[in-house]
Amino acid sequence: MRGVAPVLHDADVTTAGLTVDQRNSFIAAFLGWTMDAFDYFIVVLVYADIAKTFHHTKTEVAFVTTATLAMRPVGALLFGLWADRVGRRIPLMVDVTLYSVVGFLCAFAPNFTVLVILRLLYGIGMGGEWGLGAALAMEKVPVGRRGFFSGLLQEGYAFGYLLATLACLVVMNWLDLSWRWLFGLSIIPALISLIIRYRVKESEVWEAAQSRMRLTKTRIRDVLRNARIIRRFFYLVLLMTAFNWMSHGTQDVYPTFLTATTDHGAGLSTVTARWIAVVYNVGAIIGGLVFGTLSQRFGRRYTIAFCAVLGLPIVPLFAYSRTAAMLCLGSFLMQVCVQGAWG
């Protein structure tokens, strides 16, 4: 069964602007993904502080991010199935509410066990956000501009990481407040995203697909029996596994590596490491926008492959440099490539 093409007028494909509904859909998806990343990377940036508060090692605290990522497929499956039945809007609003409330409650976690449980629940919300938010936004964006907007949407993730880093600098380094304040702040933009999503109309692509399924009487079991679709599904799972390896492998423990004084860590100060994180997230945003736009001309597959190959010679600079300046340059270039592939 082939994908259902979006119902768009010719003017929508060529016009420079977006309709109000298209703009609201995209802004809501961007903000949702931004705050998803903001909440996720707060933990990455404050491993040592959480470890100190709850008297655990940094390795044990790192399990929190593992638990979060482990639950993402669960969230993607649950919310994805629900969205196919009732549309994108309602599941997305429930999803945003879930991870916003759970993220906020992390500020009040009395012990490490409760924090892990909350992050498990957060992982479910994180898994639901990307698939549904991206689907709704991209289904509404004109076909001829999807390369640019897919790159821009993906950089909501880098923008969220950037905001988390800046928030850490302000809250913890300048104001000398607890890491708990960071989770308290995370609920505000998420609620703004929820308000905007309330004003978004249902996806025309989903509505057209539902109409076609009613006419052809297509069922889920019919799709699962289609060998071509199953092969493509497993190919995409492998592709996204590689993508996430690139992304999380170069982001999640990098701030800890920059400050570590043992196990070949860079031994930089916390403030320096966080400023480097600011710089490489700027690189991520640039990479996503530039290569997302270029993919319109050269195609998605070639652009992805080019970015992945381009990142390989940067690994020594990224991982083995011994000065802050070279590590900053290496991580900047690495994120240009990694998020360029994502974009």
What is the predicted pLDDT for the residue at 99?
85
What is the predicted pLDDT for the residue at 253?
85
Q: Which residue has the tokens 């449980």?
A: 117
Which residue type sits at 176? D
Distance of alpha carbon 127 from alpha carbon 124, whole angstroms: 5
Alpha helices in the chain (DSSP H): 10-14, 20-45, 47-54, 58-86, 89-105, 112-140, 146-168, 180-185, 187-198, 204-216, 220-224, 227-251, 254-259, 270-298, 300-311, 315-320, 324-342
What is the predicted pLDDT for the residue at 18?
76
Compute the half-sphere exposure of residue 64: CA atoms within 13 Å on the CB side of its CA. 35
Concatenate the DSSP letters of all residues of 52-82 into one string.
HHHT--HHHHHHHHHHHHHHHHHHHHHHHHH
Distance of alpha carbon 142 from alpha carbon 136, whole angstroms: 12
Are 133 and 33 in contact by the 8 Å Cβ rule? The answer is yes
Are 322 and 292 in contact by the 8 Å Cβ rule? The answer is no
Tokens of 142: 């004109």
Secondary structure (3-state) at 9: coil
What is the predicted pLDDT for the residue at 318?
94
Per-residue model confidence as pLDDT tens digits over 250-287:
888 899 899 987 878 888 999 999 999 999 999 999 99
What is the predicted pLDDT for the residue at 49?
92
What is the predicted pLDDT for the residue at 292?
82
Residue 311 CB: number of other CB atoms within 10 A?
21
Mean pLDDT per 10-residue segment, the chain (343 residues) = 41 54 83 86 90 90 89 91 83 86 93 94 89 80 76 85 93 92 80 72 68 62 77 86 86 88 85 94 91 84 90 93 94 93 79
Tokens of 301: 């597959």
Query: Which domains are seen in the chain, by residue range?
Result: 19-218 (1.20.1250.20), 232-343 (no CATH)
Nearest to 21 by CA among 33, 35, 34, 7: 7
Tokens of 16: 């420079």
What is the predicted pLDDT for the residue at 328?
95
What is the predicted pLDDT for the residue at 214?
60
Are 37 and 159 in contact by the 8 Å Cβ rule? The answer is yes
Tokens of 297: 């001309």
